[in-house]
Structure 1
């Protein structure tokens, strides 16, 4: 059996493009939105290490679609996945990457997996709540106090259970990565307590728990398409929004939002999914390869995500954004105020699951 230890086969056009992009810091745009300057400081893609998987002599093409941009941590993780799969299949599996919802948004991509017209995607868990109600646990506020707690949950028995749950409805779930912690920005005032949110119009996703969170805090949650958000912020249709730091910077929200709060109020993972139709066609050796590559991708992507978040938060501060960092006492006040959200959703999501996750952080 051949073992590979390499920075990956040929210097592909994709890798050449990435190198050029890294040298052109901050000057490239994607769909009219500037890429994050911190992209050139991402942790390097690891070398591929492992045996060549046993195949069946057939060649396969694997299309992998995501909704986030080419400049983000998620796409960087996909590049590592591509390297692993192509190298360790000895080229018998060719991976094609699609970013920025080129093949459809998260729900459209999942539907394409079910119909067999797309092989892989990695959506955030929030859009999948109607399909898998227990995924709503990831929308509960302040449930994951640290990234380490999130890792222990996702990579442990709880995460494995949820992967099994998601391996239905024409899908096979292979692992976890992260969208990360959501942070609040607004154009009106610094926010350090629930009282500071009184009447603030905050754009949210069309998600019932997120709506409950902001209503309970005294804000005026306003669901709208992400594509409409910058203009809505610029024109004052809404006062604020909440997203991870990398989204805040890459979408230039800091140009129309003077204030931010490092609230870490919701932690959202990405889940790596394969079409069951495609999965069932693969020999066992290639199935094992995809599972292994998904795990390595998730570990690396989380490292990239956290590195970028730290860099981007500092860059936003350097560019003049007023960022409030909550003290443990201030976080506790938000948690106490939001306790009715847990009362409302405990039975719907499953109290045992919530308790199991809480036990990890004790």
Structure 2
């Protein structure tokens, strides 16, 4: 697929009328994600939909399905690959079965902050990782933000690795997440996000790990008492479109989708970053008991070397090393 130049993108965004046909001939694209309607994923998806419609002159419409209404994380990815869904938005760990090198983004204690994240995701490393999904029939339109993960549970405060021993913790299916919690003495239980609230409510699992924004938006405070700000891993989301569906669009429409996704992606990340402090304050107000300064060095000491070595054994050490060396603006 031909790449879009910056000049072409700006011209397209400035002149939406030339791209459209009659409204009666509009092509509908369906976008599904597992997060609640209160989450930045949904707000950014609606903005993406509005801009695509405007900039295509009404020739394209995007219908957004939040909250797992079209299925779990693996289900919507499978549907996008199979052509029954146009755009899937879910966490990077759920794509790693199709493109194992994407596992590198989920290695624990890898990113210093969101500036480091942006230097990786928006540069050559991120571009190369997005291309890994092409053979699976998916075109990655952008890396969205889930954020830095923190541990919650219903049994006890977690300040040191010893406090995790024996707890059954829901994780993503990413090998690095699973391995890290095994090394910490917990019992990892991978499952789709759409099944998580019920699993916590019924005590099928003791806890889970997600950013504070998602802990709040998914109302996990209703079924979890303890929150520990471990920030043990960063998680990106991937906005991925069926490659067949994208290539079937008229060239000008295709470029509108690609350019608009590129514009909305940093906006979504900023929404999430802006919401972080407020989400923590609200979780406190809702009664969660928070360990704000757990022994992160002790957690990192137990998990970093083994998880990176396991990745390097399978895929080489070049990607983790490149991520470590990436600097903002590089």
Post-superposition Cα deviations, 1:37-94, rounded to whole Å, max 9, x if no partner, equal xxxxxxxxxxxx7332753746321111112121211010111101111111111111
Report how far residue 177 of structure 1 moved: 0.7
Is 1:251 matched with 2:218? Answer: yes
Partner SS, residue 175 of structure 1: strand
The 5 A counterparts of 1:1-362 are: 50-52=14-16, 54-55=18-19, 57=21, 59-224=26-191, 226=193, 229-234=196-201, 236-326=203-293, 330-338=295-303, 339-360=305-326
Post-superposition Cα deviations, 1:92-151, rounded to whole Å, max 9, x if no partner, equal 111211112222223222222222222212221111111100011122111112111111
Partner SS, residue 144 of structure 1: coil
C-alpha change, 1:318 and 1:337, in structure 2 (3 Å) is same
Post-superposition Cα deviations, 1:244-288, rounded to whole Å, max 9, x if no partner, equal 223322333323332211111121111121112221222222222
Post-superposition Cα deviations, 1:314-360, rounded to whole Å, max 9, x if no partner, equal 11112332212237xx3222211112222222222431011111112
C-alpha change, 1:251 and 1:276, in structure 2 (3 Å) is closer
CA RMSD, 1 decimal: 2.5
Partner SS, residue 228 of structure 2: strand
How far apart, CA to CA, are the structure 2 residues paired with 1:206 and 1:56?
A: 41
Task: Flag structure 2 segments of 5+ consecutive residues without an equivalent.
Answer: 1-8
How far apart, CA to CA, are the structure 2 residues paired with 1:132 and 1:144?
A: 21
How far apart, CA to CA, are the structure 1 residues paired with 2:60 and 2:193?
A: 34
How far apart, CA to CA, are the structure 2 residues paired with 1:263 and 1:341?
A: 17
Whether the aligned pair in 1 keeps the contact of 2:34 and 2:194 (CA below 8 Å) is no
C-alpha change, 1:225 and 1:116, in structure 2 (3 Å) is closer
Partner SS, residue 208 of structure 2: strand
Whether the aligned pair in 2 keeps the contact of 1:262 and 1:325 (CA below 8 Å) is yes
Runs ≥4 residues deviating over 6 A: none
Whether the aligned pair in 1 keeps the contact of 2:164 and 2:186 (CA below 8 Å) is yes
Instruction: Pick the structure with more helix per residue.
Output: 2
Single out whichever of 243-252 and 155-164 deviates more from structure 2.
243-252
C-alpha change, 1:94 and 1:236, in structure 2 (3 Å) is closer
Task: Flag structure 1 segments of 5+ consecutive residues without an equivalent.
Answer: 5-48
How far apart, CA to CA, are the structure 2 residues paired with 1:210 and 1:52?
A: 43
Partner SS, residue 67 of structure 1: coil
Report how far residue 226 of structure 1 moved: 4.6
Single out whichever of 243-252 and 125-134 deviates more from structure 2.
243-252
Report how far residue 209 of structure 1 moved: 2.3
Structure 2 length as normaliser, TM-score?
0.87
Report how far residue 228 of structure 1 moved: 5.2
C-alpha change, 1:123 and 1:227, in structure 2 (3 Å) is closer
Partner SS, residue 155 of structure 2: coil
C-alpha change, 1:238 and 1:111, in structure 2 (3 Å) is closer
Structure 1 length as normaliser, TM-score?
0.79
How far apart, CA to CA, are the structure 1 residues paired with 2:124 and 2:58?
A: 34
